[in-house]
């Protein structure tokens, strides 16, 4: 086994330790740790499989920006190996490779529940051990030196050419990598934490093992580390928020503040500390506990139901323009004094219907007549003409004053087939029967033509006559006829041929008595294939004429 170079890992650890000894104690912002785990690749010669995992180890330095977010510098040494013989789908190819990997990376971490461990400490309590999941992502660089063995590979010309192409590219000894992963942080004590994590390394190319053309050049390689790290936190909590005021004298020890505010912040700068400020992000006067009064009515915005308009205290800061005791924003008639029962609107004729919705505000009427004493109903169906969609034909309220002649639940004005029961999705027309659908489906490939022409072969006429019969059974439906070809020959010629064949079907149906205005025809040439034009079967699927019934 090749010796693993410890120098990069040890150099990083010594440099980090030297740096940490010069850092003033704050809120345990720094950690130093050791990693032990396994390295594993996913390349052209390797899958995520425990048979090809190798020992990996290294060191880390972590800086905590806050209790949940941190930056981590990693140096990890490992090894990547791959052997086609381990996989049944590649056993005959017989490639192998091996490469050391030394990775240096900088990642950002989000420690999801990290705040829990320090929450009590900020107010003078004890450290709380926490188990917290975290995710990380960042960038780095990996030193590699792949050794690829093709000696047992097959000798086909194509394979040898691809191997030669890969060998001509030389050995790739460095890679930009993008770490991405997740883990679980377990506090063993206030100083020591155990981190269990797994992370993938995304690459920008397919050259991790220097097999590309001979493998899968369209897919970038990746590798991963999985394992555990034991880390040590430096410094004890002296000034948790780093504002220069010791926690024992800091009235807000977990938030940066000022000496004038005894260590508490004053975000809005109104001279009231955030912890005493009812509106800490908005400047306001002391008599309103730090909250603003935008409309100047003496009621703070947070208690003012209408903060942008001057109002009165009895209505929570809202105005009442007409003086009826109902705030303008809740008053349907804010400029006219009205009744609470009518949302602040007046009722001039006293019929219990507010003037703003009373069609006859000066004459007593009924709710049914929208405030008017009588209604106009020409068809005598009990529905006023102004509300009747069919005012001259007696109908029902269910259909807005219209009728449903065929009883299919769709009123006649919206029913394309008002005399025949149908379904909503067909606009009131009947569903096409299964046997008739089969006739149309069979016609797609059943109507055939002389090669390169728009003239029918004899067997097509029986099928076309069946379509004539279907059209006769569904007089409310229209038909669209579309012609299609395979890609043999010139595309413009195919387009014209598809149009001519669709037109030939159209002309035949017209000759059999089907109204021309019930049909349309078009050609799509080779633009809408249903099969693979590279095969005879696929070409046969693409030579077709489609017949589609629909309600217009």
CATH number at residue 117: 2.40.160.20
228 shares its domain with 281: no
Q: Compute the half-sphere exposure of residue 68: CA atoms within 13 Å on the CB side of its CA.
A: 6
> In terms of pLDDT, which residue wins out, 321 or 9?
321
Model pLDDT, residue 516: 94
Residues 6 or more apart whose CB falls under 8 angstroms from that of 472 comprise: none
- pLDDT at residue 27, as a whole number: 52
Domain stops at, among 291, 319, 347: 319
Q: Is the pLDDT of residue 21 over 70?
A: no
Judgement on whether residues 454 and 511 belong to the same structural domain of the protein? yes
Q: Predicted confidence band at 205 (pLDDT cuts at 50, 70, 90)?
A: confident
Regarding predicted confidence, which is higher, 103 or 11? Answer: 103
Asked whether 96 and 45 are in contact (CB, 8 A), the reply is yes
pLDDT for the residue 122: 55
More confident residue, 23 or 381: 381
Task: Give the list of residues 6+ apart from residue 289 with CB closer than 8 angstroms, or none.
Answer: 272, 276, 277, 278, 279, 300
Mean of pLDDT values over 197-217? 83
Burial class (CB in 10 A: 0-12, 13-18, 19+), 248: exposed
Taking only the tens place, the pLDDT of each residue in 89-107 is: 776 777 888 889 999 999 9
CA distances for 167 relative to 46, 142, 170, 171, 350, angstroms: 19, 21, 6, 8, 98
Residue 438 sits in the same domain as residue 540: yes
What DSSP element (H or E) covers 20? helix 7-20
Asked whether 32 and 232 are in contact (CB, 8 A), the reply is: yes
Q: What pTM was computed for the model? A: 0.41
Boundary residue ending a domain (319, 348, 368): 319
The region that residue 193 occupies, defined by phi over 0 for left and psi between -120 and 50 for alpha, beta otherwise, is beta
In terms of domains, do 43 and 107 share one? yes
Number of domains making up the chain? 3
Is the alpha carbon torsion for 253, 258, 260, 266 positive or negative? negative
357 part of a folded domain: no
Name the helix (H) or strand (E) containing 112.
none
In a shared domain, residues 192 and 282: no
- The pLDDT value recorded for residue 23 is 34
Residue 490 falls within a domain, yes or no? yes
Its domain, for residue 131, covers: 7-82+98-145+170-206+221-233
Predicted confidence (pLDDT) at residue 8 exceeds the cutoff of 50: no
- Confidence check: pLDDT of 498 > 70: yes
Q: 185 and 314, same structural domain?
A: no
State mean pLDDT over 148-171. Answer: 73
Contact yes or no for 57/35 (Cβ under 8 A): yes
pLDDT, average across residues 1-14: 44
Per-residue model confidence (pLDDT) at position 251: 82
Averaged pLDDT score across all residues of the chain: 84
**The pLDDT of residue 1:** 36
CA 256 to the chain's CA centroid: 37
67 and 183 fall within a common domain? yes
What percent of the chain is modeled with pLDDT above 70?
A: 88
Among 319, 345, 368, identify where a domain stops.
319
Least confident range of 268-277, 281-290, 390-399, 434-443: 390-399
38 domain residue, yes or no: yes
The answer to whether residue 476 is domain-embedded is yes
533: pLDDT strictly greater than 60: yes
The reply to whether 211 falls in a domain is no
How far apart CA 279 and CA 361 sit, in angstroms, is 48
Please count the residues of the chain: 552
202 and 113 co-located in one domain: yes
């Amino acid at each position: 086994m090749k010796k693993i170079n410890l120098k990069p890992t040890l150099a990083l650890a010594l440099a980090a330790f030297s740096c940490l000894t010069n850092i003033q104690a704050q809120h345990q912002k720094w950690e130093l740790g050791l990693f032990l785990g396994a390295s594993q690749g996913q390349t052209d010669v390797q899958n995520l499989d425990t048979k090809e995992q190798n020992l990996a180890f290294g060191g880390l330095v972590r800086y905590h920006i806050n209790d949940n977010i941190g930056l981590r510098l990693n140096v990890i040494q490992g090894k990547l190996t791959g052997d086609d013989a381990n996989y049944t789908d590649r056993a005959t190819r017989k490639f192998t490779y091996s490469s050391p990997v030394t990775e240096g990376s900088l990642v950002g971490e989000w420690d999801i529940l990290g705040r829990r461990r320090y929450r009590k400490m900020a107010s003078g309590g004890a450290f709380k051990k926490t188990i917290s999941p975290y995710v990380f992502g960042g960038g780095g660089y990996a030193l590699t030196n792949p050794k690829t063995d093709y000696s047992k590979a097959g000798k086909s010309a194509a394979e040898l050419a691809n191997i030669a192409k890969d060998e001509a590219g030389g050995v790739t000894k460095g890679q930009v990598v993008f770490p991405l992963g997740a883990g679980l942080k377990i506090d063993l004590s206030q100083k020591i934490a155990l981190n269990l994590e797994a992370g993938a390394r995304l690459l920008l190319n397919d050259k991790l093992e220097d097999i590309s053309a001979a493998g899968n050049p369209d897919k970038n390689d990746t590798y991963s580390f999985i394992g555990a790290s034991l880390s040590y936190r430096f410094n004890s909590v002296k000034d948790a928020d780093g504002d220069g005021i010791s926690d024992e004298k800091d009235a807000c020890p977990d938030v940066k503040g000022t000496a004038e505010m005894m260590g508490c912040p004053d975000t809005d700068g109104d001279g009231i500390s955030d912890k005493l400020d009812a509106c800490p992000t908005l400047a306001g006067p002391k008599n309103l506990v730090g909250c603003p009064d935008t409309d100047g009515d003496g009621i703070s915005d947070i208690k003012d139901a209408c903060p942008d308009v001057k109002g009165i205290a009895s209505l929570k800061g809202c105005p009442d323009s007409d003086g009826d005791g109902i705030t303008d924003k809740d008053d349907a008639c804010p400029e006219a004094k009205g009744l609470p029962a009518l949302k602040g609107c007046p009722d001039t004729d006293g019929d219990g219907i507010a003037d703003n919705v009373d069609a006859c505000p000066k004459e007593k009427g009924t709710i049914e007549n929208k405030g008017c004493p009588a209604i106009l109903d020409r068809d005598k169906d009990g529905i006023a003409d102004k509300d009747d969609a069919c005012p001259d034909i007696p109908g029902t309220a269910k259909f807005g004053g219209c009728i449903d002649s065929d009883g299919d639940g769709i009123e006649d004005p919206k029913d394309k087939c008002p005399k025949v029961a149908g379904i909503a999705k067909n606009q009131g027309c009947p569903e096409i029967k299964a046997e008739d659908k089969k006739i149309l489906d069979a016609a797609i490939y059943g109507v055939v033509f002389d090669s390169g022409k728009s003239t029918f072969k004899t067997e097509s006429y029986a099928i076309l006559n069946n379509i004539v019969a279907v059209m006769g059974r569904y007089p409310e439906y229209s038909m669209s006829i579309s012609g299609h070809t395979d890609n043999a020959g010139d595309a413009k010629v195919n387009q014209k041929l598809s149009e001519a064949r669709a037109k030939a079907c159209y002309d035949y149906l017209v000759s059999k008595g089907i109204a021309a205005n019930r049909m349309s025809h078009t050609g799509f040439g080779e633009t809408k294939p249903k099969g693979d034009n590279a095969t005879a079967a696929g070409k046969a699927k693409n030579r077709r004429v489609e017949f589609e019934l629909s309600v217009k």
